[in-house]
Amino acid sequence: MLLNKMRRKLLLGNWKMNKLASEAREFALASKPLAELAKKNNIDLGVAPTYLSLAATKEAASKDMIVAAQNVHFNPSGAFTGEVSIPMLQEFGIDWVIIGHSERRAYDNETNQKCHDKMKALFANHMVPVYCVGETLQEFEEGRTKEVVGRQIREGLEGFTAEECKDLVVAYEPVWSIGTGKNASSEIAQDICKFVRETLRELIGDTADKIRVLYGGSVKPVNVKEYLSCPDVDGALVGGASLKIDSYEELLRNIL
């Protein structure tokens, strides 16, 4: 429990394909008092807008607000139509990136190897990956959750050193609970987040105790406190409930 208290809580909103740049800017301006409140309570607060809204959000948000990208390519430049590189993100002051979200795994062939390549490039550029892992409903019902999540972690982080991984964030998101309204119980969240940390410990030793492990999947103001009361759940990766400033504020206040 002591280590849990040492790890700063993290509340990160994934906006997915939502908000115009003007709407993102309006939200960022309104969130300034929340960023100050979070800082006073030793909580990291952030959002992940679309590429087109990154600049507007970063410009309008508090300097204490994390502004993350939802994806990045592992090459610095080249013939990759539709992709965005690390130097492009860095030009706008972006140094956090979500990697391997289940929707990208499902719709865009985001494999563990691709995630590995992206994180390798991010580590080399001293940026923070938020690495998403999680199982489908079929895998959950077959009792294969730990097999799937363990493979995602081992293949995604293969060969990385403890020093490289020191700022890594891992988000456990059971695919069957994302956007469905179905919630994994706090017992499931704790069990799998603990397993994530144990798997990390196999790979990078005691540094695993410093890595923040988030839960994501139909997280709402009404249940966020229960999830974050679990000793191995250090924060939340939130979808729909992070889109409106009122519910975003309620999420924050419920974990103070």
The predicted model gives 167-195 an average pLDDT of 90
Q: What is the mean pLDDT of the chain?
A: 96
Question: Does the pLDDT at position 42 exceed 70?
Answer: yes
Nearest Cα neighbor of 172 from 157, 188, 160, 156 is 188
pLDDT band at 5 (very low <50, low <70, confident <90, very high): low
pLDDT band at 2 (very low <50, low <70, confident <90, very high): very low
For 44-69, give one letter per residue: b (16+ CB within 10 A) or e: bbbbbbbbebbbbbbebbbebbbbbb
pLDDT in tens, 50-105: 999 999 999 999 999 999 999 999 999 999 999 999 999 999 999 999 999 999 99
What percent of the chain shows pLDDT beyond 70?
97
pLDDT in tens, 204-221: 999 999 999 999 988 999
Question: Does the pLDDT at position 23 exceed 90?
Answer: yes
pTM of the model: 0.96
Task: Name the active-site residue from 83, 135, 173, 202.
Answer: 173
Neighbours of 111 (CB within 10 A): 14
Burial class (CB in 10 A: 0-12, 13-18, 19+), 107: exposed
The predicted model gives 106-127 an average pLDDT of 97
Extract the tokens encoding 207: 């540094």
pLDDT of residue 183: 77
Task: Name the active-site residue from 101, 103, 116, 164.
Answer: 101
Give the separation between CA 164 and CA 146, rounded to whole angstroms.
24
pLDDT in tens, 164-179: 999 999 999 999 887 6
Is 116 an annotated catalytic residue? no
**Superfamily of domain 2-253 in the CATH hierarchy:** Aldolase class I (3.20.20.70)
Helix (H, G, I), strand (E, B), or coil: what is residue 123?
Answer: helix
pLDDT of residue 233: 98
Question: Does the pLDDT at position 1 exceed 60?
Answer: no
Which positions ≥6 away from 129 have C-beta within 8 Å? Answer: 97, 98, 99, 118, 119, 122, 123, 168, 169
Give the separation between CA 85 and CA 71, rounded to whole angstroms.
9
Give the separation between CA 198 and CA 245, rounded to whole angstroms.
35
For residue 169, the cross-strand partners are: 130, 212
